[in-house]
Amino acid sequence: MSEGSKGSSLAFGQVVIGPPGSGKTTYCHGMQEFMGRIGRKVTVVNLDPANEAMPYQCAVDIAELITLPDVMENLKLGPNGGLIYCMEYLEANFDWLQEKLAAFRGHYYLFDCPGQVELYTHHDALKNVFVQLAKWNFRLAAVHLVDSHYCTDPGKFISVLCTSLSTMLHVELPHVNILSKMDLIEQYGKLAFNLDYYTEVLDLSYLVDHLASDPFFRNYRRLNEKLVEVIEDYSLVSFVPLNVQDKESMRQVMQAVDKANGYSFGDQEHRSLEALMSAAVGADFHFTSTLAVQEKYVQSQDKAVEEEVMDL
């Protein structure tokens, strides 16, 4: 990927972003394994200088260039300031990144990014890294992970929508928003509406009305209405549910990202994908159905209602 050969070939991949604890590293591990099973050569690039325990096979690690603990110790910075410094240092050392990536031509790239929200909403260092990758003929899609437990709190969900919209507008890449950890959603509490209401981001006025039933949020109804108007005016935010243990869920996410970055796979990969999807569940994969999780969640709620009726 020298300056003279940038136009010779395209490279495809994903930049995996999102707040801390949203499951970015787990997603990279799961997607690397899933794509590997259908014959796609995947290279994972760790751009998180605070990421020490990586379950996936890491081909390029920013720790070879700079680490967060070293920055915090030597420059007396906190974790947030240290992360911003690390990203600015990476931006100033594009040649290091270019040299490392050049060793994996023809691969599909997964960039595991830091979890600091400011890096995706208003700071430019990481955005400039993505711009430089585009100049090197990388065709990237941003995969923005959000923990699905925010669906159980209408106030937090509106906040997540605002953050997702701000990220989409700032990063300026084809964007796929993901509701992660769907296999755990039944542990988070009762949803006010069906799951598709949150994934498709349907009429948010219902969410404002639901918030108004809370005495605390009733005082902020006008503010919530304006926030919802901004989200609906742009009409950009929607989510794809993800359970990394569910091969159908992984397939849907992969196809959504492939559509976003323009990746087109050949017949051999298509046949491998069909074989993987039609295969019986084996010991090497423990898959459940995302739909089954949703059905189980609904059934548990129905059962709880029945028990309340019986007690009456």
The Cα–Cα gap between 179 and 234 comes to 20
Residue 77, pLDDT score: 94
pLDDT digits (tens, 9 = 90+) for 13-69: 999 999 988 999 999 999 999 999 999 999 999 999 998 888 999 999 999 999 999
Whether the pLDDT of residue 188 is over 80: the answer is no
pLDDT digits (tens, 9 = 90+) for 95-137: 999 999 999 999 999 999 999 999 999 999 999 999 999 999 9
DSSP state of 149: G
pLDDT digits (tens, 9 = 90+) for 136-173: 999 999 999 999 988 888 888 999 999 999 999 999 99
List b or e across 73-94, with b for residues whose CB sees 16 or more CB atoms inside 10 angstroms. eeeebeeeebbbbbbebbbeee
Q: From 210, 189, 199, 119, select the one nearest 161 (Cα to Cα).
A: 199
Residue 44, pLDDT score: 97
Structure tokens at 231: 């989200």
Expressed in angstroms, the distance from the first to the final Cα of the chain is 71
For residue 42, give the 3-state DSSP assignment.
Answer: strand
**To the nearest whole number, what is the mean pLDDT of the chain?**
86
Q: From 107, 11, 42, 40, select the one nearest 268 (Cα to Cα).
A: 40
Write down all domains in the chain, each with its CATH number in brackets.
11-201+237-310 (3.40.50.300)
Which residue matches tokens 């010779």?
8
pLDDT digits (tens, 9 = 90+) for 273-297: 888 888 754 444 444 444 444 444 4
Please give the distance of CA 226 from its chain centroid, rounded to a whole number: 26
Q: How far is CA 264 from CA 251, 254, 261, in A?
A: 14, 11, 9
Confirm if 198 and 191 have CB atoms less than 8 A apart: yes
Close Cβ partners of 108 (under 8 Å, ≥ 6 residues apart): 12, 13, 35, 40, 41, 42, 43, 263
Whether the pLDDT of residue 71 is over 90: the answer is yes
